[in-house]
Amino acid sequence: MSDPRTRGIVLIVNPRSTRYDRATIAALRAACEAFGETRMVDTAGLDHALSAAHEARERGAGVVAVAGGDGTVAEMAGILAASPTSLLPIPAGSTNVFARALGWPAATRDVAPLLAGALAAPRRTLRLGSLSMDGGPDRTFCVNAGVGIDAATVDWIEAHPAAKRRFRQLAFALAAAGPGLAAFLRRDGLEIAVDGTPGVRAATFMAACGHPYAYVGSRPLELMPHVEWDGALEWLAMTRALPLTAGAHVLRAVMNRGLEAGRALMGGVTRGEIVVTTRRPVHVQADGEALGTASRVCLTPGPPLDVVVPPR
């Protein structure tokens, strides 16, 4: 069998990503071509990008390099998971949590000089997360998923792309203080069952298969630091709708001081199933992408994925 590192590279570009720049993309393409045969796909939309990834997998490409934000990368990961084709996530969105967590620089323009070493190095195999909504199809997530306040925040951001482009992470803070807080105070009454054992009632819920949960500027937001794409899910549930308590927990996470469990905060790590149910549909997000609303969300450890990472 041929070495997967020599079976060709497909570079998929999302021209609508926050940090799209033609000169930078040209440098990325040149770096890929210096390593091996490269085909670039400048997508006309998400469906086009998904089709290109499916085709690359079916043709046995060694690497699919995706220049886009977390949502685009997660879609590609779902297609390439459990296949011989590796994913190279190139940060080209507003936050790029997954790519940065794997060691890629935050600025797209800084990626090209690292590609030669990364493409020549052994791949890293991760275990991702999987979720389904109201019994629908499974969806792969690369870092995190949420039901409640963070999902309502993401939903508002996706509905206001101009604010996202102009204010970047400040827009998330403003959304969290507005629609996110409103969702928090509604007390939607989430019921959480872990490994078949019910009993946790919460105002909002989050789960992760890797860390950090997000970035605040250059600082990692370490809400759930005990999983590292190792086949487990870490979860947190805010059991009391107290805005000041929630803010204190976020501040501790940004300062890397750890979270304090108590009556207002519960959590744990599982390699099994987590089921979140609620009386009325609530917002759901995965990897910073709004997925709509659901009354039942099932989360499990997901499929393996080979990724290209920069040399240490």
What is the DSSP secondary-structure string of 228-273? SSSS-EEEEEE-S--HHHHHHHHHHHHTT-----BTTEEEEEESS-
Q: Are residues 172 and 211 in the same domain?
A: yes
Q: Are residues 137 and 106 in the same domain?
A: no
pLDDT of residue 170: 42
Q: Are residues 273 and 175 in the same domain?
A: yes
Residue 310 lies in a domain: no
Q: Are residues 235 and 286 in the same domain?
A: yes
pLDDT of residue 20: 64
Q: Are residues 70 and 167 in the same domain?
A: no
pLDDT of residue 192: 95
Please enumerate in sequence order all residues whose Cβ is within 8 A of that of 62, keeping only pairs 6 or more positions apart, or say none.
3, 4, 5, 6, 7, 8, 9, 36, 84, 85, 86
Residues found in the chain: 312
Q: Are residues 154 and 272 in the same domain?
A: yes
Q: Which residue has the tokens 């508002």?
A: 156
Q: Are residues 108 and 163 in the same domain?
A: no
Residue 282 has a CB neighbour count (10 Å cut-off) of 23
Q: Are residues 288 and 146 in the same domain?
A: yes
pLDDT of residue 69: 86
Residue 309 lies in a domain: no
pLDDT of residue 188: 54
CATH code of the domain covering residue 73:
3.40.50.10330
Residue 182 lies in a domain: yes
Residue 8 has a CB neighbour count (10 Å cut-off) of 19
Write down which residue in 101, 121, 141 finishes a domain: 121
Whole-number Å distance between alpha carbons of 312 and 208: 24
The list of the chain residues with pLDDT below 70 reads: 1-6, 15-20, 155-188, 240-263
Q: Range of 207's domain?
A: 129-303
Residue 157 lies in a domain: yes
CATH code of the domain covering residue 168:
2.60.200.40
Q: Are residues 116 and 134 in the same domain?
A: no
Residue 308 lies in a domain: no
Whole-number Å distance between alpha carbons of 48 and 241: 42
Whole-number Å distance between alpha carbons of 12 and 116: 18
Residue 108 lies in a domain: yes
Q: Are residues 69 and 112 in the same domain?
A: yes
Q: What is the pTM of this model?
A: 0.83
Whole-number Å distance between alpha carbons of 284 and 149: 9
Residue 46 lies in a domain: yes
Nearest to 250 by CA among 290, 209, 213: 213
Q: Are residues 136 and 241 in the same domain?
A: yes
pLDDT of residue 65: 96
State the total domains in the chain. 2
Q: Which residue has the tokens 């085709």?
A: 55
Residue 312 lies in a domain: no
Write down which residue in 121, 141, 157 finishes a domain: 121
Write down which residue in 121, 139, 162 finishes a domain: 121
Q: Are residues 198 and 275 in the same domain?
A: yes
